[in-house]
Structure 1
Amino acid sequence: MRIGMMTPWNANSGPSICAELIGREWVEAGHDLRVFAHDGSNSPDGIVIQEDEEYVERCFGTSYWGRDEWLDPEPILRFRPEIFTVQNLAIMPMNELFKVYGEIRRYSKTALVIHEGYLPDEPLFYKFEWDAIICFDERYVRLFSTVYPKDKLHIIPFPYHPIVSGDKGEARRMLSLPLNRKIILFFGYSAWRNLPLIPALDEVNRICPLHILVLTTDGRSLRGFKLESRRVKLPIEIRVEAPPLSRLYKYLHAADVFVKHVEDEPGDENITLSSTVHLCLGSECPIMVSDAKIFESLNEQVVKYPARNLEKFKSRLIQVLTDRDLIEALKRAARKCIEENSASKIAERYLTLFTALKES
């Protein structure tokens, strides 16, 4: 099948993670994929973090990431895909895409993957006609059924990265990390959200030697952790990098726990999910998350704690660092979760839908 996908790619963003996980499966299965990708970013969440595959053409820019809005439609029109799909329309150069969208629909069935956890204000968003609209779960369906016909809405869950096991000692030696401390990993463009945990981690460090590892290129995160590293005796190592996937998994294999702390903003009703957890769960590194809305769909595959209760965070962290039975239970739950919604299975569900669209 000839599939064209307009999407962020090889970037630290939810749409990119979703697109990469299913897109690489399509290529592996022998389908002809062309990725029409963004030209980078002026902010950390959209930067290109690894070399592109041969089927990727960078042919648009978006103001969402501080770039000029532009689109070169020639690669799309030249490829003439049987299926043309867009990930996260609201961040695309919609004006430029709409100019050629009628031409695309002359020879392609079209599918939109909804990442927006809200109804966009831009009227142009709703002028695109789609043969199918893909939602990750019922929450998105309830929201978007108010603006789209229900028979066009299809639920296909967000994919999980497959299981890739690794050796902790080997990973630490390769990455020049300490062998005799418990490593707590923070990473990403929103690593600064973890800063409220530093006092609690400083206390845990007095009874269990810790090493805090921060991977980020985000200015706010870098400034915040540098300041905290001067205030506490807790070892905080900051590495200015946005690692490509293979290197990120080495870091996850080296860590004792990956922590993602989020505190809900009052009045924020947007639907959301954690693409980062979907990407990282396959490493089998234990994951701790706060009880924020972004993690509401996660259950026994992670360890949750109340976002504003540092005592509970400390006690659950110590349990993760010392309870082998808990670690094994987390691994079993992660494997079950990934088996149900693996990238390969989710990619196949897209293909089943695309086949039905072609035959309709």
Structure 2
Amino acid sequence: MKVGLLSRWNAACGVSLHAEMIGRELLRRGHRLTVYAPTLESANRWWHHLILREDEPFVVRCYREHTPDGTEGYLNEQPVLADPPELFIVESYEKLPHGAVERLVRKLKDRGSFCVAVVHEGAYEELRYRSLDLFDAVVVFDERYAREVVRNRVKEEKLRLVPYPCYPVREGKRAFAEDGPVRFFSFGRQPPEEYLPYLRVLERFDEPFTYKVVRPRELLPVTYPWLVQERKSLVYETALKELHASDVHLLPKGQSRRVVLSSTLHQVLGSLTPTVVPDTRYFETLPKGDDSPVLFYRNEKELLTSLKRLVKDEELRERLKENARRFVTERELSKVANQFERLFEV
């Protein structure tokens, strides 16, 4: 099958990660893939759109995102219309030139393409199509997107709930704190203030430990004897290697009123390294209580208590590991890719 994918690509954001996971899996299955991505000049205007690697031969950079000052984006239709795909997937997000995409989709449908929108927008007003019914199918990751973002903009029979995928389970061999100190680890480009709860709590942590933080650009503006910082970008394989050398993954994520999820968690939960997260909208659809795949905290007092318990309670660590294994297995990439293939078959 000839597949076209309009999306960010090879970039450090959840839109790109989803596109790459689905796109590369379809490519692995023998489908012919062409990716239509934003120009590098356009992409690099956004701090969160850090380019991670060079493009593959099947990537065509042919559109401009909206600029930070509000200038309208642009889409060159010609590369898409010159070789219309059978299946056209739009990874839809706030900075996409929605009007230009809408015009392209109408032309592709006239040429027989089956067109799918994957909704990453986190608020009703961010979804700027005149009508989502233009698409043959509209994919949302969970009920929040249907209820709060899409609402009544598409016929119910076109709406598809397809979860954000997880990479398969790849468990490390490290025993917990096998070399003495507990090794805490964080990575990513979150604003420095989102690390503060972990830093403040670890100042009061009375077990031997180290805390390694890897960031792609600026390091945290703090110094502690137990804090090790490194400036580099981590792709999946290198992130997995770091997690397998760690005992606890501290995942920083702030509050948001938008509908959001953590692509980082879906990317690396399969490492089965115990993961600690704040109780924010990024994680609100995860199972809670004894079925939770992560350790939640609501405030710094609760975080300190939870970390102390996690270090001492092997049964808790094993339960988190098995819950994570179950969560990842249910949403494994191959299963989610099957659902995308079935969209075209309907």
TM-score normalised by the chain length of structure 1: 0.85
For the residue of structure 1 that corresponds to 2:55, the secondary structure is coil
C-alpha deviation, 1:90, in angstroms: 2.9
Residues 184 and 96 from structure 1, CA distance in 2 versus in 1: closer, same or farther, beyond 3 angstroms? same
Q: What is the CA-CA distance between 1:185 and the residue it aligns to?
A: 1.5
> Equivalent residue for 2:101?
97
- Aligned counterpart in structure 2 of residue 311 of structure 1, from 277, 301, 318: 301
Q: What is residue 284 of structure 1 aligned with on the other side?
A: 272
Structure 2 spans left out of the alignment, 5+ residues: none
Structure 1 residue 189: deviation in Å? 1.6
Over 3 Å counting, the alpha-carbon distance change for 1:24 and 1:45 in structure 2 is same
Segments of structure 1 that go 5 or more residues without pairing to the other structure are: 173-177
The residue aligned with 1:34 is 34
Q: Please, which moves more after superposition, 99-108 or 234-243?
A: 99-108
Give the aligned partner of residue 323 of structure 1: 313
Q: Is the 8 A contact 2:15 2:93 kept in 1?
A: no
Is the contact made by 2:45 and 2:67 (CA closer than 8 Å) also made in structure 1?
Answer: no
Q: In the TM superposition, what is the alpha-carbon distance from 1:56 to its structure 2 partner?
A: 2.3
Code of the aligned partner of 1:14: G
Give me the identity figure in percent: 28
Q: Encode CA deviations 1:114-162: one digit per residue, 9 max, x unaligned.
A: 1112112575454771111111112222232322221211111111111
Distance in 2, matches of 1:320 and 1:56, equals 44
Structure that is richer in helix per residue:
1
User: Which residue of structure 2 lines up, in the alignment, with residue 295 of structure 1?
Assistant: 283
Match of 1:175 in 2: none
Call closer, same or farther: CA 1:127–1:294 in 2, change over 3 Å: closer
Q: Which amino acid letter does the alignment assign opposite residue 210 of structure 1?
A: F
Aligned residue for 1:289, secondary structure, equals: strand
The SS at the match of 2:82 is: helix
User: Aligned-pair distance for 1:81?
Assistant: 0.3
Superposed CA deviations along residues 262-302 of structure 1, whole A, max 9, x for unmatched, are: 3435xx2x222211111110111111001112211123110
Are the counterparts in 2 of residues 89 and 125 from structure 1 also a CA contact under 8 Å? no
**1:351 alignment partner in structure 2:** 341
The alpha-carbon distance between structure 1 residues 64 and 240, as it changes in their structure 2 partners (threshold 3 A), is farther
Measure the CA separation in 2 of the matches of 1:348 and 1:293. Answer: 28
In the alignment, structure 1 residue 196 sits paired with structure 2 residue 217: no
Deviation at 1:191, TM superposition (A): 4.9
Deviation at 1:234, TM superposition (A): 4.0
Report the AA paired with residue 200 of structure 1: V
* Equivalent residue letter for 1:275: S
Supply the AA of the counterpart residue of 1:145: R
Classify 1:272/1:167 alpha carbon distance in 2 versus 1 (closer, same or farther; 3 Å): same
How many residues are paired up? 334
**CA distance 1:63–1:123, change in 2 (3 Å):** closer
Contact 2:4 2:33 in 1 (8 A): yes
Q: Once superposed, what is the RMSD of the aligned Cα atoms? A: 2.5
Is residue 7–residue 90 contact of structure 2 (8 Å, CA) maintained in 1? yes
1:214-293 maps to which residues of 2 (within 5 A)?
214-219=213-218, 222=219, 225-226=220-221, 228-229=222-223, 233-264=224-255, 268=257, 270-293=258-281
Shift in Å, 1:91 = 2.0
1:52 Cα deviation from its structure 2 partner: 3.0
Native 8 Å contact 2:121 2:127 kept in 1: no
Q: TM-score, normalised by structure 2?
A: 0.88
Match of 2:56 in 1: 53
Query: Per-residue CA shift, 1:292-324, capped at 9, x if unaligned?
Result: 122111231101111x2x222112112223322
Give yes or no for contact 2:7–2:19 (8 Å, CA) kept in 1.
yes
Distance 1:63 1:194 in 2: 29
- Structure 2 distance, partners of 1:292, 1:56, is 35
Name the structure 2 match of 1:140: 145
Looking at structure 2, the residues matched to 297 and 281 of structure 1 have their Cα atoms a distance apart, in angstroms, of: 15
* Residues in 2 aligned to 1:135 and 1:127: alpha-carbon distance in whole angstroms: 12
Residue in 2 that maps onto 1:81: 85
Rounded Cα–Cα distance in structure 2 between residues aligned with 1:72 and 1:322: 57
Conserved? CA contact 1:90–1:125, under 8 Å: no
Deviations 1:315-353 (A, max 9, x none): 211222332222221221111111111110000011111
The alignment partner of 2:51 has SS state of coil
State the alpha-carbon separation in 1 of the partners of residues 131 and 187 from structure 2: 35
Partners of 1:251 and 1:350 lie apart in 2 by 31
- Gap change, CA 1:120 and 1:183, over 3 Å in 2: same
Q: Find the aligned partners of 1:318 and 1:65 in 2 and give their Cα distance.
A: 43
Q: 1:88 to 1:297 in 2, by over 3 A?
A: same
Name the SS of the counterpart of 1:100 in structure 2.
helix
Q: Which residue of 2 aligns with 1:208?
A: 207
User: CA shift at 1:198, angstroms?
Assistant: 1.2
CA distance in 2, matches of 1:332, 1:41: 39
**Structure-2 change in CA distance of 1:123 and 1:112 (3 Å):** closer
Conserved? CA contact 2:132–2:153, under 8 Å: no
